[in-house]
Amino acid sequence: MTRRWRRGSRPIAPNRRQASRSGLVTTTERSVGPDQIIGILGGGQLGRMLALAGAKLGLRCQVLAPEPESPAFDVVRRITEADYSDEVALARFAEDVDIVTYEFENVPDKAARFLSSRLTVRPGPRALTVSQDRVVEKTFARDCGLGVPDFEPVDDEADLDRALARLGRPAVLKTRRFGYDGKGQAVIRDGDDAAAAFSSIGRQPAILEAFVPFIREISVIVVRGADGEIRHYDPVENVHRDGILRTSTVPARMTPEQANEAARMGEVLAEKLDYVGVLAVELFVTADGGLVVNEMAPRVHNSGHWTEAACHCSQFENHMRAVAGLPLGSTARHSDAVMENLIGADVEAWRAIAAESGAVLHLYGKRDQRDGRKMGHVTRLTQLT
């Protein structure tokens, strides 16, 4: 892929370290505040929101992403348009920033490890290694003493038949890697053709999970600082449609004991990973009141978008604080909230939403509207209960 380093249409000056050595930067030109340059791997809406949050703190951001016209490109100081496997581009990127983070969990862990040999990467590459493979992820959570669905790895149809014989039906077949928003998944029920289900996910290495008869889905967002301090946001109740998150509501319908346990589970995972930054953990609430880990995401998360409108310090700002080694901000909530994703044509109502009292609209600046694509979100606030 062609590598492009650019900031708008203007020529790019030498990177900051080179400029400092050449005398182009003086102490009088430094900004008041952290004055760090944060490199972000990934240029989607999460990278965009991270950069916006970092700007409030005086942090400047540079994005590396392979997709042209990525949403984050509009709001950062400089972009590197290159593939994550391009080590020449990665090396140049590392020379031009102080710390690296990432906006999504499918950044190749090899790229994160390459960068971590040159500068600090937060969260560390191990978080990517664990979260990118569902078998590794479930094994890790189980080894941390947390409840997970019973599961079996599946590499071929014979494995699938053996796994179904042990776990029974219904069961959920998922690709081990790269699934998101319900993609790469198939539920196998009584009478279903298992081979057809395996074909539907591309006959890729997979995991078969026992079906969890949950009554609701929740998630908890925790943040762990570079000094080991850890805080959490109130757990939220999530509603999915067609595999895509539609709404996140806080407070969730759960007991204080369940809320405390959800936070504890997120904190355990963050501690075991020696994690720095925001970590999201999706959980099932079962009929007996138990909590089961569905998956974790080593990044800011869609189910935490409400925090930018309903909390004193959003998940995005707290992630940037943690990455930069700054004190964590308050995770307290000042309002109840319902966050709704604007997916595809939903975004066409943006003008009416903008006129709503108590509604906080956030559009992602995407130019290509299509079915199933997240174009923005709205958070509707009500009085704290």
**Domain match, 240 and 366 both:** yes
DSSP code for 168: -
pLDDT of the residue at 34 = 81
Q: Which has the closest alpha carbon to 101: 131, 140, 138, 127?
A: 127
Domain assignment of residue 318, yes or no? yes
Cite the annotated binding site by residue number.
Answer: 134, 174, 179-185, 209-212, 217, 240, 294-295
Domain assignment of residue 12, yes or no? no
**Domain match, 233 and 374 both:** yes
What is residue 233's three-state secondary structure?
coil
**Domain match, 205 and 219 both:** no
**Domain match, 353 and 299 both:** yes
pLDDT of the residue at 19 = 42
**Domain match, 92 and 195 both:** no
Laid out side by side, the sheet with 4-6 consists of 4-6, 78-81, 60-65, 37-41, 99-102, 120-121
Which of 78-107 are b and which e, b meaning 16 or more Cβ less than 10 Å from the residue's Cβ? bbbbbbbebeebbebbbebbbbbbbbbbeb
**Domain match, 68 and 172 both:** no
**Domain match, 203 and 224 both:** no
**Domain match, 109 and 163 both:** no
Sign of the C-alpha dihedral computed for residues 308, 313, 315 and 318 taken in this order: positive
Query: How many structural domains compose the chain?
Result: 3
Q: How many CA atoms lie within 13 A of 217 on its CB side?
A: 16
Secondary structure of the chain: what % helix, strand, coil (to 5)?
A: 30, 30, 40
- The pTM of this model reads 0.91
Q: Are 342 and 354 in contact (CB under 8 A)?
A: no
Domain assignment of residue 30, yes or no? no
Domain assignment of residue 127, yes or no? no
Low-confidence ranges of the chain (pLDDT < 70): 1-33, 179-182
What CATH code is carried by the domain that includes residue 116?
A: 3.40.50.20
User: Which residue range(s) make up the domain with 63?
Assistant: 37-121
**Domain match, 190 and 86 both:** no
270-274 contacts, C-beta under 8 A, 24 or more apart: 270/222, 270/224, 270/230, 271/224, 271/230, 272/140, 272/144, 273/123, 273/124, 273/126, 273/127, 273/130, 273/298, 274/124, 274/126
The pLDDT tens digits for 81-108 are 999 999 999 999 999 999 999 999 999 9
pLDDT of the residue at 243 = 87
pLDDT of the residue at 101 = 98
Q: Which has the closest alpha carbon to 169: 134, 128, 197, 210?
A: 210
Q: Which has the closest alpha carbon to 159: 133, 191, 183, 135?
A: 135
Q: Which of 210, 231, 250 is a domain's end point? A: 210
Domain assignment of residue 162, yes or no? yes
The token pair at 91 is 């090396």
CA separation, residue 74 to residues 154, 240, 368 (Å):
42, 30, 15
**Domain match, 262 and 377 both:** yes
Cite the annotated binding site for ATP by residue number.
Answer: 134, 174, 179-185, 209-212, 217, 240, 294-295
pLDDT of the residue at 171 = 98
**Domain match, 283 and 367 both:** yes
The pLDDT tens digits for 265-275 are 999 999 999 99
**Domain match, 102 and 229 both:** no
